[in-house]
Homo-oligomer: A and B are copies of this chain.
């Protein structure tokens, strides 16, 4: 076992040989100070080794940027009017990674049987069906425990009360915990050799290298490459929007290392 110290890393930095990510083998151990040194500089640690899960990855590494979705609601045009007033239209606040989608200036309060969540962002434009996407953590606050579903699949899901500036609605279903998924263009799909509905296995490039083995692929000409996760998944994997995961397999199979 070799111990890598902060002093060693500083020497590498001065020599200009400090890579990002910083590769170590299973024979290496970093001191806590060395780990913090790398973390403070935004340098990721990659553990390599014979037969390691990292080496099973194909030689050319495929990365996908992460988009973390905080709790949010999609509203039908009808519900926009009930919550914000007759003839009301959502006001774009900032664009989202998917073209045409935006976070609206408008927010709502979610009222569950056990608690409330205020200032929950409305996403636009308005959709056919009102849908509320929360994390499992939010579910404990609200006192509702929705199933993990892809967007739009709301049959049999729990309802909730939404309160807006001028009115409120109680939906009988439509609350989900979003199932993680990847958005990509047809060109991306060609590059990754996948089609709509395939499932990618991806691993967080972070100090919590969690593997998400069943990430549904959504292909559409309007889509930008993005791995969508909720805040629980982001925190469990120490990922933020703009971080990356690497693709390590698809449809339940890990890629093999090339000899």
Contacts and interface: CB of A to CB of B under 8 A. Distances in A.
Contacts of A136: 235-236, 238
Nearest to A201: B53
A62 to B, nearest CB: 18
A138 to B, nearest CB: 9
A232 to B, nearest CB: 4
Interface string A127-142: 0000000011100000
- The oligomer's copy count stands at 2
Interface stretch (A12-20, A71-79, A85-93, A247-255): A247-255
Contacts of A235: 135-137, 232, 236
A84 to B, nearest CB: 29
Q: Is the interface of A mostly helix, strand, loop or mixed?
A: mixed
A148 B207 contact: yes
A9 interface: no
Q: How large is the interface on A (under 10, 10 to 19, 20 to 34, 35 or more residues)?
A: 35 or more
Interface in A165-215: 201, 203, 207-214
A164 B52 CA distance: 46
Contacts of A147: 32, 35-36, 39, 207
A148 B204 CA distance: 15
Nearest to A150: B32
A51 B253 CA distance: 6
Interface of A: 26, 32-33, 35-36, 39, 47, 49, 51-54, 56, 135-137, 147-149, 153, 155-156, 201, 203, 207-214, 231-233, 235-238, 249, 251-254
Closest 10 CB pairs of A and B: A211-B211, A236-B236, A52-B252, A232-B235, A136-B235, A233-B236, A232-B236, A51-B253, A32-B155, A36-B156
26 contacts: A32-B147, A32-B149, A32-B156, A33-B155, A33-B156, A35-B147, A36-B156, A47-B214, A47-B252, A51-B252, A53-B213, A135-B235, A136-B235, A136-B238, A137-B137, A137-B232, A137-B235, A148-B207, A148-B238, A210-B213, A210-B233, A211-B211, A232-B232, A236-B236, A236-B237, A254-B254
